[in-house]
Amino acid sequence: MADKGKIPVYSLHNFSIPERQGRQYQVEVFDANRHFQVEYPHRHDFFEVLFLYKGSGTHVIDNNRYQIKPPCVFFLSPGQAHKLEISSDIEGFIYIFTPEFYLINKNNQNRLIEFPFFYTIEQDNPPVALGNADDVNFFHYLFKKGVNVADKQDKASIELLRSILDSILTFCDSIYPNREALNNKGKGHLLVKQFYQLVEQNIRNNYSVSQYAGLLSVTPNHLTQTIRLITGRTSVDIIKSKQILEIKRMLVHSDLSVTEIAVYMNYSDQSYFTKLFKRETGVTPLVYRGQSMK
């Protein structure tokens, strides 16, 4: 867990009963009785798929608020801050997993970030709505089957759980909005998502475009041109927007002071930190925090 005042970061073991400690996945029923000793809001260092077929509420992911309107599916990538406010009649299933669990037998080690709902370029995470009863029944069957074999540790059961997860992700990929447009982005789209993932993982390091290009084994010019082609923005702009997003997360989801957030984000000059935030958002950090709490 993170230090007091910061947004807690949880691993799979924080959501596991003693008998399941050490596993790289959990698939379970999700309802109002699902209690773990965790705080909201929090972050994960794993991926999450949340399928809800009954109930209501809101799901706050980073600084976006989404209404829960079942049947729907939510996705979370590592590092995102989220908070659930759910009704007492909420019902669904949850599948949480590490990238190692999903990718162990994959030749394509980029497969997870190729899905449009993980590390989204738009920096949003709206749920995918399931449009008809057949889709809902299909999802219900997959998750229920996963729950039924989740405690079995033989090789066949674990491979079945991995196959179920792949079916869930692949089906959501097929119905994701604007899927055809995303397919046309090709390798450039993947490079941008890899860049986004790296920036997310190194958000406090203040790396330059050249350093990120080195990590991606491309030239800074190629990285910048690809990002501009796919997003219409510059590499520097993306890095800055990710930093602003992280600052917003801390302002909304932690009780750290503005000075403490500046130190956490490795800004030695608080005055510059405040001016940068205001230039990018139109308001000071304190005003943004006040507006977000209303």
Arithmetic mean of pLDDT, 192-202: 89
Q: Per-residue pLDDT tens for 74-108?
A: 999 998 889 999 999 999 999 999 999 999 988 88
Query: Six-digit token pair at 161?
Result: 């759980």
pLDDT of 33: 82
Inter-axis angle of helices 285-292 and 235-253, nearest 10:
60
- Segment 139-182, tens digit of pLDDT: 999 999 999 999 888 999 999 999 999 999 999 999 888 654 55
Domain stop point among 182, 209, 235: 182
> Does 42 reside within a domain?
yes
The percent of residues above 90 in pLDDT, for the chain, comes to 55
3-state secondary structure at position 137:
helix
Neighbouring C-beta atoms of residue 130, cutoff 10 Å: 23
Q: With respect to residue 171, please indicate whether it lies within any of the assigned structural domains.
A: yes
Q: Which of 75, 144, 160 is nearest to 116 (CA)?
A: 75
In this prediction, residues 119-124 reach a mean pLDDT of 81
Judgement on whether residues 78 and 101 belong to the same structural domain of the protein: yes
CA distance 146 to 27: 6
Q: Is there a domain that residue 231 lies in?
A: yes
Only one residue has tokens 């080690």, namely 109
Residue 6 has φ and ψ, to the nearest 5°, of -90, 170
**DSSP H/E element including 42:** strand 42-44
Does residue 75 sit within a domain? yes
For residue 184, is pLDDT > 50?
no
Q: Is the pLDDT of residue 11 over 70?
A: yes
163 with 103, same domain: the answer is: yes
Is the pLDDT at 240 greater than 50? The verdict is yes
CATH at 135: 2.60.120.280
State yes or no: pLDDT of 20 exceeds 90: no
Domain end point (choices 157, 182, 207)? 182
Instruction: Give the pLDDT confidence score for residue 14 in this predicted structure.
Output: 80
Contact between 289 and 254 (Cβ < 8 Å): no
Is 228 found in the same domain as 127? no
The structure's pTM equals 0.79
Q: Do 80 and 155 belong together in one domain?
A: yes
Instruction: Please tell me whether residues 103 and 134 are part of one structural domain.
Output: yes
Are the C-beta atoms of 63 and 39 separated by less than 8 Å?
no
Write the CB contacts of 61 (distance below 8 Å, at least 6 apart in sequence).
74, 76, 80, 81, 82, 125
Range of the domain at 245: 189-292
- 208 with 154, same domain: the answer is no
pLDDT tens digits for 208-221? 999 999 999 999 99
For residue 136, tell me if it sits in a domain.
Answer: yes
Mean of pLDDT values over 223-228: 92
Residue 42 sits in the same domain as residue 153? yes
| Domain edge (last residue) among 154, 182, 210 | 182
Give the pLDDT confidence score for residue 29 in this predicted structure.
Answer: 94
Q: 274 with 285: CB under 8 angstroms?
A: yes
Mean pLDDT of 64-83: 93
Q: Give how many domains the chain has, as a whole number.
A: 2
Please indicate, yes or no, whether residues 139 and 218 belong to a single structural domain of this protein: no
Asked whether residue 138 falls in the same domain as residue 16, the answer is yes
- Distance from C-alpha of 29 to C-alpha of 64, rounded to nearest angstrom: 25
Residue 22: pLDDT band (50, 70, 90) is confident
pLDDT the model gives residue 8: 84
The contacts of residue 290 (CB under 8 Å, 6+ apart) are none
Q: Would you state the structure tokens that stand for residue 227, as one six-digit string?
A: 């990002």
The radius of gyration of the chain's CA atoms, rounded to the nearest angstrom, is: 20
Query: What pLDDT does residue 255 have?
Result: 86
Instruction: Using alpha carbons, list the distances in angstroms from residue 43 to 130, 139, 148, 272.
Output: 26, 25, 27, 28
Residue 198 is assigned to a structural domain of this protein: yes
pLDDT above 70: residue 183 = no
CATH number where 207 lies: 1.10.10.60
| Residue 89: inside a domain | yes
Confidence of residue 1 (pLDDT cuts 50, 70, 90): very low
C-alpha torsion angle, residues 248, 249, 254, 255 (rounded to 10): 0
Looking at the fold, whether 25 and 135 belong to one and the same domain comes out as yes
- Flag whether 4 is in a domain: no
What does the mean pLDDT of the chain come to? 88
Q: Are residues 165 and 196 in the same domain?
A: no
Region for residue 56 given its phi and psi (left: phi exceeds 0; alpha: psi -120 to 50; beta: otherwise)? beta
Considering only CA atoms, which of 205, 283, 191 is closest in space to residue 242? 205
Report the pLDDT value the prediction gives residue 179, as an integer from 0 to 100: 52
Q: Residue 186: what pLDDT?
A: 62
pLDDT of amino acid 2: 43
What's the CA angle centered on 192, arms 25 and 196, to 5 degrees?
55
Residues 70, 173, single domain; the answer is yes
